[in-house]
Amino acid sequence: MNTPSDSNRPTRPAREDFTSKKENSHQHRHFLAFPSHRPRYDAAYLEKRSLFLRRAKWILPLVAFIFFINLIIYPEVTSFINASKTNVKNLSIAKIGDGHLIGITYRGVNAYHCPFTLTADTLYQDQHRNILTLTTPQADMLTSSGAWLFAHAPRGTYAQGSQILDLTHGVTLYRNDGLMLYSPFADINLKSGIIASHAWVRAEGPFGTLDAQGYFLSQHDGLAQFRGPGKLVFYGNNKTLH
């Protein structure tokens, strides 16, 4: 029986990545036998780290909450400080004569962050009540929609706490859309931007004329109500409504 010679035998497949030299094997064994350089922490260090993480769990949300509150309060505080500085400056230039202040200008911001200005020729403060008596008071007001309103009268009083201006002896009110109101007296809440009167009123504007027994204006809501009985005359078509 014939046997194949060694030269004719098929060779086994060999891969270089599976063959390891003696030097490489020695390096691998040396690396595995080398001690690890990872630090070992004792119980005291781990306790301190755990305490730090527990405190950070409460401190970080608290810092974020304080930062958020500052974002909300800071504009309000800045607006109040600026308004106070302006008021002090304006009151400082007022002259005193016979117990009255002459040439008064008061600036403020209402509940909707809209500015208003109150001026008067003279001012007298009642010591028993927090009421200011004004001569020739004039009020300039801006609304959140950008509309402008101006009111003036020969006499008036101003309550500093409630920011209510009472105009008397003939009130004229003008709005930049052309509306004009005439009435014997009117109450203006400068804080909320509401103007009301329970006396007769005559309104004139691009629409025509209106006579009524009272009115209510809300600048922020853009609302105008007139109390009857009344008379409404439209321009152009000469229509009259009662």
Q: Tens digits of per-residue pLDDT, 116-166? A: 999 999 888 876 777 889 999 999 998 888 888 999 999 999 988 888 999
Are residues 210 and 108 part of one domain?
yes
Average pLDDT, the chain: 77
Are residues 81 and 134 part of one domain?
no
Q: Is 37 within a domain?
A: no
Q: Give the tens place of pLDDT for each residue, 54-97.
A: 777 778 777 777 777 766 666 665 665 555 555 544 444 455 55
Are residues 126 and 170 part of one domain?
yes
Are residues 131 and 181 part of one domain?
yes
Are residues 195 and 118 part of one domain?
yes
Question: Tokens 């194949």 belong to which residue?
Answer: 4
Identify the weakest region by mean pLDDT among 39-48, 121-130, 171-180: 39-48
Instruction: Look at residue 34 and give its three-state secondary structure.
Output: coil
Are residues 135 and 89 part of one domain?
no
> If we measure between CA atoms, which residue out of 195, 135, 202 comes closest to residue 163?
195
Question: Tokens 């005359």 belong to which residue?
Answer: 233
Q: Which residues contact 81 (CB under 8 A, 6 or more apart)?
A: none
Q: Is 9 within a domain?
A: no
pTM comes to 0.58
Q: Is 18 within a domain?
A: no
Domain of 85, in residue numbers: 46-93
Look at the chain and report how many structural domains it folds into. 2
